Structure 1
Amino acid sequence: MGAHLDVLDPATDEVIGSVPDLGPADALDAADAAARVQPAWAAAAPRERSAVLVRAFELMTARAEEVAQLISLENGKALHDARAEVTYAAEFLRWYAEEGVRVPGRLGRAPGGGNRILVSHRPIGVAALVTPWNFPAAMVTRKVGPALAAGCTAVLKPAEQTPLTALLLADLLREAGLPDGALGVVTTSRAAPVVDALLAHPAVRMLSFTGSTEVGKLLLRRSADRVLRTAMELGGNAPFLVLEGSDVDAALDGAMVAKMRGGGQACTAANRFYVHRSLADAFSTGLAERMGAVVVGRGSDPATGCGPLVDTAAVDKAARLVDDARARGARLLLGGQRPDGPGCFYPPTVLTDVPDGAAVLAEEVFAPVAPVVVVDDDEQAVALANDTEHGLVAYVYAGELGRALRVAERLEAGMVAVNRGLVSDPAAPFGGTKESGLGREGSAEGLLEYLETTYTAVDW
């Protein structure tokens, strides 16, 4: 028997299963298989590919509770968050089943009149897909859905911590009629050599990666050797602005969604709260009350509102950021003390009077930690919000919509949520500016990432 990779429940550190610990040779075999089947899959009628995705959506929906329980078990997130993820993840399959039959093209006369210009799109080929642990279902379907709809085949490398969900989704796609080899799943503890092997394979023409900015930069350099198409969804440091005149209760509703979904372990999580001075006390107190009422426990327990972090390294990071802020003068309103006992838990934490220079304002937290900074006007809020190398998402609350939209236009982010704490939608283009990534996922733009544009000059 070959090497195996144990999968742990982060709430207990107990082994819940194991998967093959594959290596570069296995990744090349998967790419070979994807290359063999890709021409036939690309030649299939768009409606045939669409039917497979529709059937996969139906199977995933029918088995939603099974998928959610698995996510909660290997990822640790609260069951209500896992169920919401399954609904979100399945929708990418349905969305791209619909988008795949509407690939755009155009025909026009050249300005000089000598010929016609025919523009069409064709599948790019085999795609290498690398997904993170924090949304083990949604990050898979958000990449696999458009790749398959476009006529590409793919090799998926899921996160080491959460491979079981990826394998289950691959099984559902095969049951839905996806040809053998069209989607290979390489589970591994050796991510770097496996991904390097995929990027060197001659049939692989694209890399889609979701993960940290640091790793994304390394992969961009490696992709440059073969001039691969790259789509990068990288780190975030989302500001949450509460402007003068805002409805504090509404802002708190949004803050709880933006901060606490998945225990704060999301690239879209609100990282920094910039609150107008007139509202700061009410907002900070209200946020501490609401976060303090959240039940912390094992994700699979229906009473749990906040599960464990993914591993001990994540707990160590949260503790370091909170300790640094307190050492610099921040005031602790809630939490801030890692609990004793098994599991990778860190409590919901609220910090106020967080000073400039605190690491918690500069780094992506990925934990249920909310630092609150007081601002005196919109200008200061915008300047502080933009003071980061990241630009994935921002949140704006204001009492007057026009004011909120004027501020939103000045924020350096690929996505802005106005008067709401949730931005993600399969029908919307997901992606960031600056060092938060390249390209877009979701919407029609997500399909185009997997297509090459072809121009044909026609003379009739």
Structure 2
Amino acid sequence: MTAMHAIDVHSPRDSQLVGWLPTATAPEVSAALATARSARPAWAAVPAAERGAAVREAATALRHRASDLATVVETETGRPFASAREGVLAGASTLEQYAELGPVHRGRSLLGSAVDFMVPEPRGVVVALTPWNDPIAVACGLLGAALVTGNVVLHKPSERCPHTGLLLATVLHQCFPARVLQTLVGDGEVGAALVSSSDVDLVAHVGSTAAGRAIARASSAKLLLENGGNDPLLVDDDVDPVWAASQAALGAFTNAGQICTSVERIYLHKAIAAPFLDALCARAREWNADPQPLVDVRHRDFVHSQVGDAIAAGASALVGGSVPDGNGAFYPATVLADCVGAMRVMCEETFGPIAPVQLVSSFDEGLAEACSGEYGLAATVLTSSMEHAQRAWRELPVGTVKVNAVFGGAPGGAAQPRGASGTGFGYGPELLDEMTTTKVVHLGVPTGRS
């Protein structure tokens, strides 16, 4: 790890400098790790109800600063204020959820010649590496679950939104004892120094597959990884094509396609291709009337490279497909027809407002295509057939299957990615199990004495 340097953040809307922050140095990282290790026993000994009360206080503090945080998120990432504020409030709700669930997180017991009981205990020092696309909500899930179960946390927010991470730290730190939650500004070098340390017991990372694989190589700790995705949308021939197109647009274009479970590739039954594509193009033009920038120009150029490769290989851009004039990291909602599986836009993660469409002749063909690839985050099927819905959720090799809705789910729902998309539960009550380890106690009665 090299000496301290600065992270510059530029506005995705006009490319102007938002600000800069110094990264943590090697001695600062080492000191933070030592501080975390020393703080571990005292926080683990705090009664679970008191830890829950602290997490609940953090949720309240977050709600009070929701607008401030949303403003910084919009400034650094380009996410519109209203949407960014929803993300902050979602983070507060997640903290409230874990404030309730943490104190009642329990083990099991067995009765035999002796009593066996299984006790959940905190793992110890948790490193949380969080992303830029939904920085508050994701961070609150990992931090809340870790802290309420008695772990101490080192949080490194994405270098694309470090001011957001620091403001979140300001809001949360007041609710916990000193040293229990530390925030470090840094890039990949700081993250690598954290995850490779023998003082770390668990690494929780939400980000790219490349970064997740590097973490897996470098760390000997327990890993929770939510990595990239290439989520398919399968459109059957028995659904309303206009409704299906609205679902496709929602999944592909929301937050400029920068959601972990965005629709990345569409398999469309050719029987409804014409009305579906007409409606999808209409929705794309509506999105382009009020565009949202991508997080930065570097990412914009990556997205455009995939579109350009697809067009060169025979795809047609029905809407969008070109870099607009002017400053900022804007890229239009784009509809690509005539796509095939070998195109990068169909087999790699794009993470942009792109809706690539491949026509299929049958549900069977579409399902086979949707099952292809190395990623296993999520998938959606739109169908009126219960048989097809059942086949889809049984056969799709992903952690989450959504039927007839690209987004949504029950409160407190869990998610467990597969394949190149990661490992371990990242949400729901099950995340408390990931944040703890189990001690089994055999409790017998002494014998042989009168």
Instruction: Show the 5 A alignment for 1:414-453.
Output: 414-423=399-408, 427-453=412-438
Segments of 5+ residues of structure 2 without an aligned counterpart are: 446-450
Question: Quick check: 1:288 aligned with 2:290?
Answer: no
Partner residue in 2 for 1:206 = 202
Partner residue in 2 for 1:300 = none
Question: CA RMSD, aligned part only?
Answer: 1.7
Give TM-score, length-normalised by structure 2.
0.94
- Aligned residues with identical type, % of pairs: 33
CA contact (8 A) 2:288 2:333 kept: no
How far is the alpha carbon of 1:362 from its aligned partner? 0.9
Partner residue in 1 for 2:448 = none
Aligned AA for 1:374?
L
CA contact (8 A) 1:52 1:173 kept: no
Question: Quick check: 1:364 aligned with 2:349?
Answer: yes
How far is the alpha carbon of 1:102 from its aligned partner? 1.5
Partner residue in 2 for 1:76 = 78
CA contact (8 A) 2:153 2:181 kept: yes
Secondary structure, in 3 states, of the residue corresponding to 1:443? Answer: coil
Partner residue in 2 for 1:251 = 244
Instruction: Show the 5 A alignment for 1:22-171.
Output: 22-109=24-111, 113-171=112-170
Aligned AA for 2:140?
T
Secondary structure, in 3 states, of the residue corresponding to 2:276? Answer: helix
CA contact (8 A) 2:245 2:277 kept: no
> In structure 2, do the counterparts of structure 1 residues 247 and 144 end up closer, same or farther at CA, with 3 Å as the change threshold?
same
Counterparts of 1:330 and 1:145, CA distance in 2: 45
How far is the alpha carbon of 1:24 from its aligned partner? 2.4
How far is the alpha carbon of 1:239 from its aligned partner? 0.1
Partner residue in 2 for 1:409 = 394
Counterparts of 1:344 and 1:100, CA distance in 2: 41
Instruction: Show the 5 A alignment for 1:212-361.
Output: 212-223=208-219, 227-295=220-288, 304=290, 306-361=291-346
> In structure 2, do the counterparts of structure 1 residues 425 and 67 end up closer, same or farther at CA, with 3 Å as the change threshold?
farther
Partner residue in 1 for 2:184 = 186
CA contact (8 A) 2:318 2:334 kept: yes
How far is the alpha carbon of 1:56 from its aligned partner? 1.4
Partner residue in 1 for 2:191 = 195
Counterparts of 1:240 and 1:57, CA distance in 2: 35
Counterparts of 1:69 and 1:257, CA distance in 2: 24
Between stretches 60-69 and 333-342, larger displacement belongs to 60-69
Between stretches 398-407 and 364-373, larger displacement belongs to 398-407
> In structure 2, do the counterparts of structure 1 residues 80 and 253 end up closer, same or farther at CA, with 3 Å as the change threshold?
farther
How far is the alpha carbon of 1:80 from its aligned partner? 3.2
Counterparts of 1:402 and 1:129, CA distance in 2: 41
1:349-369 deviation digits (Å, cap 9, x = unpaired): 101111231111011111111
Counterparts of 1:295 and 1:79, CA distance in 2: 18
How far is the alpha carbon of 1:402 from its aligned partner? 4.6
Counterparts of 1:315 and 1:195, CA distance in 2: 24
* Count, aligned residues: 442
How far is the alpha carbon of 1:295 from its aligned partner? 4.2
How far is the alpha carbon of 1:12 from its aligned partner? 1.4
Segments of 5+ residues of structure 1 without an aligned counterpart are: 297-303
> In structure 2, do the counterparts of structure 1 residues 70 and 327 end up closer, same or farther at CA, with 3 Å as the change threshold?
same
How far is the alpha carbon of 1:23 from its aligned partner? 2.2
Give TM-score, length-normalised by structure 1.
0.92
How far is the alpha carbon of 1:348 from its aligned partner? 0.8
CA contact (8 A) 1:426 1:442 kept: no
Secondary structure, in 3 states, of the residue corresponding to 1:70? Answer: helix
